[in-house]
């Protein structure tokens, strides 16, 4: 399910930007603004989606998400103006980048406890790898069939994959089948007893909740900005369009390794140190992007950016259920997803504005390092809450 969310993710959308600018006669700032509006509007739905997951379960909500996502992708094949493009961005960012990923990772959080970090790491790593590789495939399809047909192909693929897997393959919670998280057998115990946790309102009053949320929002904002303009940004440094698109490959490798590793470590060590390591990778990637060149430096840049994106997802996915429980995890993660998706809206427009004003992405990259530095300070100072089942 995370892999199939690729058409709504920035990495996949990025390869459509230049062809759509050329055919629709829309400026880079205008299309970035449409992406911002679409992403922000889609983000507003995430708390609602989280509550629906708690109320109606993973299975039914995921089917509804798949239908909306498929229709939206097919509709983008017919856009002819910035208004239609904005509407399409609203739907694919809400359903793909937000809701489908939220439903999938929430399902893992509900079905695992002792090895939740490892399980989330495995699921997120494979899904994120597919997302990061998607631009290479999509660029080939666009070159052969055009961007409109490629949007349509993605819409059909989502319907064919998501709907049957969601309906026949998903179950809401272990207690629904009389089971326990991690497959533990506990004869005579009540399966629902494992469902404990903070309400959303209580979680929002906890400082550590905002440390985790700030971390994932920072990475989402800045990695989205870099990925959205990656062809142009790396082109400024001497890479061809093909080389810039191929840089998603080292990002994929780093994303895969970091997600597995951090997910494994999240079950065994404190999460604050993992957040600091994630932010350090992000800072390194942003600084290196100002001097990157074809060859080894470009590969290291991709590794750092990919590691930041993969590790923060693993930490967030493991931290929230560990410290806030699973009874209301849909509503809690829905709020985090809303902030995360909303943050991705501002990065592309901010970088486009700086590029238009300064003729370079360097000022935006350097100023952006202040955000992960602030998260590092907060992670070192603020402690997570004690686990409480009351």
Looking at residue 192, its pLDDT comes to 54
Looking at residue 23, its pLDDT comes to 87
Looking at residue 45, its pLDDT comes to 84
* DSSP character string of 101-133: HHHHHHHHHHH-STTHHHHHHHHHHHHHHHHHH
Q: Which residues of the chain fall short of a pLDDT of 70? A: 185-195, 387-390
Looking at residue 214, its pLDDT comes to 92
Looking at residue 186, its pLDDT comes to 61
Q: Cβ(324)–Cβ(209) under 8 Å? A: yes
Lookup: tokens for 79: 């856009």
Looking at residue 191, its pLDDT comes to 55
Q: Is 44 helix (H, G, I), strand (E, B) or coil?
A: coil
Residue 27: its H or E element:
none
Among 83, 122, 123, 87, CA closest to 2: 123
Looking at residue 387, its pLDDT comes to 57
């Amino acid at each position: 399910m995370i892999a199939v969310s690729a058409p709504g993710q920035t990495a996949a959308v990025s390869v459509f930007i230049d062809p759509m600018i050329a055919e629709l006669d829309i400026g880079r700032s205008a299309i970035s603004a449409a992406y911002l509006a679409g992403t922000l509007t889609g983000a507003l739905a995430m708390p609602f989606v989280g509550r629906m997951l708690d109320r109606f379960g993973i299975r039914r909500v995921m089917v509804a998400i798949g239908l909306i996502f498929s229709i939206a992708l097919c509709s983008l094949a017919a856009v002819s103006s910035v208004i239609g493009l904005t509407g399409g961005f609203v739907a694919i960012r809400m359903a793909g980048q937000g809701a489908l990923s939220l439903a999938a990772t929430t399902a893992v959080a509900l079905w695992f406890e002792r090895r939740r970090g490892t399980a989330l790491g495995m699921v997120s790593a494979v899904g994120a790898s597919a997302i990061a590789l998607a631009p290479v495939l999509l660029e080939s399809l666009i070159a052969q069939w055009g961007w409109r047909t490629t949007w349509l192909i993605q819409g059909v693929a989502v319907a064919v994959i998501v709907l049957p897997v969601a309906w026949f393959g998903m179950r809401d919670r272990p207690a629904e089948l009389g089971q326990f998280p991690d497959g533990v057998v506990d004869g005579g115990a009540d399966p629902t007893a494992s469902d404990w946790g903070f309400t959303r309102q209580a979680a929002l009053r906890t400082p550590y909740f905002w440390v985790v949320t700030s971390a994932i929002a920072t990475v989402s904002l800045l990695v989205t900005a870099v990925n959205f303009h990656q062809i142009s940004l790396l082109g400024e440094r001497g890479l061809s369009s093909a080389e810039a698109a191929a840089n998603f490959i080292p990002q994929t490798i780093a994303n895969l390794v970091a997600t597995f590793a951090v997910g494994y470590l999240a079950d065994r060590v404190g999460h604050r140190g993992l957040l600091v390591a994630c932010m350090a990778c992000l800072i390194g990637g942003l600084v290196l992007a100002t001097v990157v060149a074809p060859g080894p430096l470009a590969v290291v840049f991709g590794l750092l950016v990919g590691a930041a994106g993969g590790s923060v997802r693993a930490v967030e996915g493991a931290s929230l259920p560990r410290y806030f429980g699973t009874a209301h995890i849909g509503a809690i993660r829905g709020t985090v997803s809303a902030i995360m998706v909303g943050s991705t809206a501002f990065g592309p427009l901010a970088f486009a504005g700086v590029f238009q004003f300064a003729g370079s992405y360097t000022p935006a990259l350097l100023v952006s390092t202040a955000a992960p530095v602030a998260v590092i300070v907060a992670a070192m100072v603020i402690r997570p809450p004690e686990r409480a089942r009351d």
